[in-house]
Amino acid sequence: MNAQATAPLAADLTFDLADQPLRDLNAALHKAGVETNARRWHVLNPNGRHAVAVGINAPLEIEIAGHVGYYCAGMNQQARVTIQGNAGVGVAENMMGGFVHVKGDASQAAGATAHGGMLLIDGNAGARCGISMKGVDIIVKGSIGHMSAFMGQAGSLIVFGDAGDALGDSLYEAKLFVRGAVKSLGADCIEKDMRDEHKALLAEKLAAAGLAGTVDVSEFKRYGSARRLYNFHIDNVDAY
C-alpha cells in the first residue's frame, strides 16, 4: 500500500454525481463483491454531498474528485478511498478496515469510533479527531482541533503539526504521537516516554501510509492514558 501513489488511475467506472443520484452510487458500491472486475471507480462532482461512498465492503479503489460533506467513506471495509479535496464532519467514521485519504482538510470527528484501517489527512483536522477511536490508525499531516482522541480506546493518532485543547481526554489505550505543540492535555492524559519500541511503531505506521522517511520519528512526543479513571477510586466512596 502506498499512499503517495495517488496519480489518477484509469477508472473502470465513472460516476458523475451531477447526473446520477448518490443513492445509485452507494447501491452500486454495496453490490460490488470481492470478485468484481471493476476495481477503480471515479466519482465526479461530489459538491459537498453527504454520505458519499459509505459502507463499502470490497477491495475497490475510489477516487472522489472534489469536496465532500458529512460521513464520507463511513463504515468502510477493504476499500481505498481518496478524496481530492476537503471532507466534512465524520469522514471515515466507524471505519472497519481499508484506507481513506483526504487530500485537503477534514472537519470535526474525523475517524470517529473507527475500528481499523488507516485514515490519512494531508491537511488539518478539526475538533474531536479520532473521538472514541477503537483501533484505527489516523495520520494528520497538519494540526488537529480540540478534544481529539476523546475516550480513545485503541489504535494510534499521529499528528505532524499541533494539537488543540484537551488532547486525549478520558483516554483508554489509544496511542497518541504529536510532533508539534499540544495546547493542553485532557483529564487522565499524560506525556509518556518515547522508547525505541514506540519509535519503531511510529515508523511502521508511517511506512504503511507511504510516508517512511518524510519525518523524523524522534521529533514526536508520546501521550497516553495515566489509567487513573479506569476503576472506581475508593476515596470517592463518600459521594454515595
Partner 1 sequence: MCGIVGIFLKDPALEPQLGQMLSSMLCVMTDRGPDSAGFAVYGTGRPDHVKLSLRAAPGYDFEDLARGVSVTAGGVPGLSVRATHAVIEIPAASETAVRAALAAHHPEVAVVGSGARMEIFKEVGLPSEVAQRFDLSKMSGTHGIGHTRMATESAVTTAGAHPFSTGADQCLVHNGSLSNHNDLRRNLTREGLTFATQNDSEVAAGYLTWRMRQGASLGEALKAGLEDLDGFYTFVVGTESGFGVLRDPIACKPAVMAETDQYVAFGSEYRALVDLPGIAKAKVFEPEPATVYFWDRAA
Per CB under 8 A, residues contacting partner 1 are 47-49, 66-67, 69-70, 85-86, 88-89, 104-105, 107-108, 126-127, 145-147
Query: Cβ closer to partner 1: 70 or 99?
Result: 70
HSE of 146 in the Cβ direction (CA atoms, 13 Å)? 5
Query: Cβ closer to partner 1: 104 or 161?
Result: 104
Whole-number minimum distance, CB 61 to partner 1, in Å?
A: 23
HSE of 141 in the Cβ direction (CA atoms, 13 Å)? 18
> Whats the size of the chain, residue-wise?
240
Whole-number minimum distance, CB 168 to partner 1, in Å?
A: 16
Query: Cβ closer to partner 1: 69 or 98?
Result: 69
Query: Cβ closer to partner 1: 147 or 209?
Result: 147
Give the three cell numbers for residue 134: 477503537
Give the three cell numbers for residue 206: 508511517
First-to-last alpha carbon distance for the chain, in angstroms, is 53
Whole-number minimum distance, CB 58 to partner 1, in Å?
A: 28
Query: Cβ closer to partner 1: 47 or 214?
Result: 47
Whole-number minimum distance, CB 47 to partner 1, in Å?
A: 4
Cβ-count burial 166-183 (b if 16+ within 10 Å, e if not): bbbbbbbebbbbbbeebe
Whole-number minimum distance, CB 131 to partner 1, in Å?
A: 12
